[in-house]
Amino acid sequence: MDLVSGTPFWLRRNGLIADYPALETSVDCHVAVLGAGISGALVTWHLAAAGLDVVTLDKRDVVTGSTSASTSLLQYEVDTPLHRLAELVGETHAVRSYRACHGALEKIARLDRLLGGGLGFQRTESLQGASRASHLPALRREVDLRRRHGFDVEWWSRARLARVSTLPFPAALLARDAAQIDPHRFAHALLRDAARRGARIFDRTRVIRRTPARHGLTLHTEHGQRIRARHLVVATGYETAPYLAERLTELVAAYAFVTEPHAAFPGWPGGRLIWETARPYVYLRRTDDGRAIIGGYDEPTGDPRRRDALLGRKTGALVRRFGQLLPQAPCEVAYRWCGTFAETPDGLPYIGAHPRVPHTCFALGYGGNGITFSVVAAEIIRDLICEGRSRDAELFRFDRGRSPAGNQRAG
């Protein structure tokens, strides 16, 4: 599947940070991780840090799939607002899911420190504007419910917004806890550290088949090597069709561009993340080299040709929206790109074991907050494999909504 087109900024800025050999002989391991984007990198790191014998494989160069296209706003908010998620999955489930993602922000901060920094990580706040006055009651409900459950949020009136920004929203929700990172450097740093801890990483190694084995399974590569593993972790991002019979998601095309660097973007409220209530929405962040990234105007299509054909028109629409939100700020398009991602019906990811796929865990961080979901996935999968259970797995299991929650076990 063609995941990304145009010029994703991080790849252009960072170049080829590291490459890994292709697999040339058959190997045995405790856990095989399929995919070395941010999900596979996080899973590999967590398993290697737990002392497991891990082999990680990617058919491309590592970190050149969807992760290279990510705008990488780190938010605990799921795409589905808490009050709406509570209607879909129940309030307890919704709040626990939000808390799990909130915890992921702190874990990314810890990983950044542990990996030595320099990954473009920065804590910030997130401001979600009401795109229209008719969205205000739902935004108010969201603020009240989040406050009731201890999330640090504030209601910003139009007057409050006008004191610190040019944003034309009638009001906004300020969430104190948010962050941003360079996902390309982050994933590479995780892989490098995991390799230092003993993980064996191979890129340009395409897995084409799985067969059952006595104590696990065997993966077969296109050039005939075999990987015998007790457990498989599927972290193949939006290319999961060969591993899951059912269709769980809708594919969406997402667009973004980055500006030239500037000393200031007048009217931007203090470098915060900015997004809005409209669907599809537009979102903005800053980079550690003084640029702005603007993304959004997602298009409901999984067809890469249609996605790519819209890149020019979508970039124009994003530039116009940028001008409405920040009319005094400079906005030249330095690089523009698009990528495919996936949405689930309730906005939550699918993580953990699947009832009909033995010896396998899935780390599928589907949704606009895929990176925070990937952190949650890495911890759940480590616990399922190392301890046989994970309390949070019930929140993101495949059959949620179909049967009562219970702890999962790795197959």
Backbone dihedral angles phi then psi of residue 368, each to the nearest 5 degrees:
-65, -20
The binder of ligand FAD chosen from 190, 365, 400, 408 (CB under 6 A): 365
DSSP string over 209-266:
EEEEETTEEEEEETTS-EEEEEEEEE--TT--GGG-SS---EEEEEEEEEEPP-S--T
Which residue is nearest to ligand FAD, using beta carbons? 370
69 vs 395 by CB, closer to ligand FAD: 69
380 binds ligand FAD (CB under 6 A): no
CB under 6 A: which stretch of 25-33, 66-74, 98-106, 384-392 binds ligand FAD? 66-74
**Of 28-36, 92-100, 115-123, 310-318, which part binds ligand FAD (CB under 6 A)?**
28-36
Helices (H), 115-153: 136-148
Cβ proximity to ligand FAD: between 76 and 156 the closer is 76
Q: Which stretch binds ligand FAD (CB under 6 A): 127-135, 139-147, 369-377, 393-401?
A: 369-377
| CA angle 69–308–272, rounded 5-degree value | 40
Inter-residue contact 365 to 39 (CB < 8 Å): yes
Which residue of 66, 124, 225, 277 would you call a contact of ligand FAD, by CB under 6 A?
Answer: 66
> Is residue 70 part of the contact set for ligand FAD (CB under 6 A)?
yes
Helix orientation angle between 136-148 and 82-89, rounded to the nearest 10 degrees: 70
Q: Which is nearer to ligand FAD, 33 or 405 (CB)?
A: 33
One-letter amino acid at 408 equals Q
Among 174, 191, 254, 375, binds ligand FAD (CB under 6 A): 254
Exposure of 337 in the CB half-sphere (CA atoms within 13 A): 24
38 binds ligand FAD (CB under 6 A): yes
Cα gap 162→321, rounded to integer Å? 18
- Rounded CA-CA distance 299/343 in Å is 12
Say which amino acid occupies 370. Answer: G
Window 194-253: residues binding ligand FAD (CB under 6 A): 206-207, 235-237, 239
The smaller minimum CB distance to ligand FAD, of residues 3 and 153, is found at 3
State which of positions 270-329 bind ligand FAD (CB under 6 A). 295
Q: List contacts with ligand FAD (CB under 6 A).
A: 3, 34-40, 57-60, 65-67, 69-73, 206-207, 235-237, 239, 254, 256, 295, 339, 341, 365, 368-372
